[in-house]
Amino acid sequence: MMLKKTLIAGATALIATLAAGLAHAVPEKPECIAPAKPGGGFDLTCKLVQSALQNGSYLDAPMRVTYMPGGIGAVAYNTVIANRPAEGGTVVAFSGGSFLNLAIGKFGKYTEKDVRWVAAVGADYGAVIVKADSPYQSLKDLIEATRANPGKVIYGAGGSVGSQDWMKSALIAKEAGVNYKSMRYVAFEGGGEAMTALMGGHVQAYTGDASEVAAHLKGGRVRVLAVLAPERLPGELAAIPTAIEQGYNVDWTIARGYYMGPKVTDADYQWWTATFDKMLASPDFDKLRLERGLFPFALTGQKLDDYVSKEVKRYAELAREFGLLGQ
């Protein structure tokens, strides 16, 4: 009897200790680092979690958003690993572009194994866009025209050679059987400039993002030949076929989410993953995500770890294929 009471008392104490540890894991000074200047995708990603946490009363203190531009995420990645590795209240925004930069070595000596990946909370997808009066009625039309005369079809997007948007164009060229070096590509500072160039007839195709095109579709100014998603997207873009269903193996998923420093305690890390699991199951979060032009995409913890490893490997293979890495 005495042994039984001792075991029960021990178990009760252990549960109390674990509960206390989890309680202490609630961050006292929550912060989201956007690895860029205000505005843009990283800022959007931080503002999303800021709103979701505060609207859902998950925090005792308001979350602040700070900006750490440099190297398209490299400065933030290096700073968190080297100088702020154990901050349990700090998350950093990432995008699919972060995986590409890791794959081609733009984050320096660090790899995807050097941080703790917390949650992916939404996604955008590539899209192939032409003017409404373009002669290209389908992705097949564009690809056949590119195959027939690579110098005549000019692609444009917001990003230089090696960027995400360039890679989308290069993948289309690949499906056309065209050497990417023969592809005509014009780099712009951002999606807005690229769309203006498309409207002005300076480029014939814009490889942008699905979230950008809804307003232009409503105005009847553009035609979306394909979304570069594994399956059709919901809502206003539901009628647009994917490249895959048109017979072209081009998928460009731009996941958005958060990572933490490598020395964050398990209790802190588990608080964040558990909290994201709750938020991602909430209709309120769906609404916040939709308001920011993102589509449903949810992974946390080990599942996100596995996804990141797979994506970095895929991007590295593409980078070698397109001459961005040594063979």
What is residue 31's predicted lDDT score, i.e. its pLDDT?
Answer: 97
pLDDT at 41: 84
Q: What is the pLDDT of residue 16?
A: 42
Enumerate residues 6+ apart whose C-beta is below 8 A from 63: 30, 31, 32, 49, 50, 53, 54
CB atoms within 10 A of CB 304: 22
Strands in 37-104 per DSSP E: 64-67, 90-95
Residue 327 burial by Cβ neighbours in a 10 Å radius (0-12, 13-18, 19+): exposed
Q: Which CATH class is domain 125-237?
A: alpha beta
Locate CATH 3.40.190.10 in the chain.
125-237
Residue 289: what pLDDT?
94
User: For residue 30, what are the contacts with CB-CB under 8 A and spacing of at least 6?
Assistant: 53, 59, 61, 62, 63, 64, 89, 90
Question: Which pLDDT value is given to residue 253?
Answer: 92
Helix axes 164-175, 139-148, angle to 10 degrees: 80
**Residue 175: per-residue pLDDT:** 86
pLDDT at site 89: 96
What span, in angstroms and rounded, lies between the C-alpha atoms of 100 and 78?
16
**Spelled out in words, what is the top-level CATH class assigned to the domain 30-124+254-321?**
alpha beta
Which H/E stretch holds residue 184? strand 184-188
Q: In 3-state terms, the chain is what percent helix, strand and coil (to 5)? A: 45, 20, 35
Quote the pLDDT of residue 121: 98
Give CATH 3.40.190.150 domain extents, the chain. 30-124+254-321
Single-letter residue type at 94 = F
Q: How far apart are CA 186 and CA 177, in angstroms?
A: 20
Mean pLDDT of successive 10-residue stretches along the chain, which has 327 residues:
48 43 70 90 93 88 94 93 97 93 91 98 94 95 92 88 86 87 85 89 92 80 94 90 93 95 97 96 94 92 97 92 73
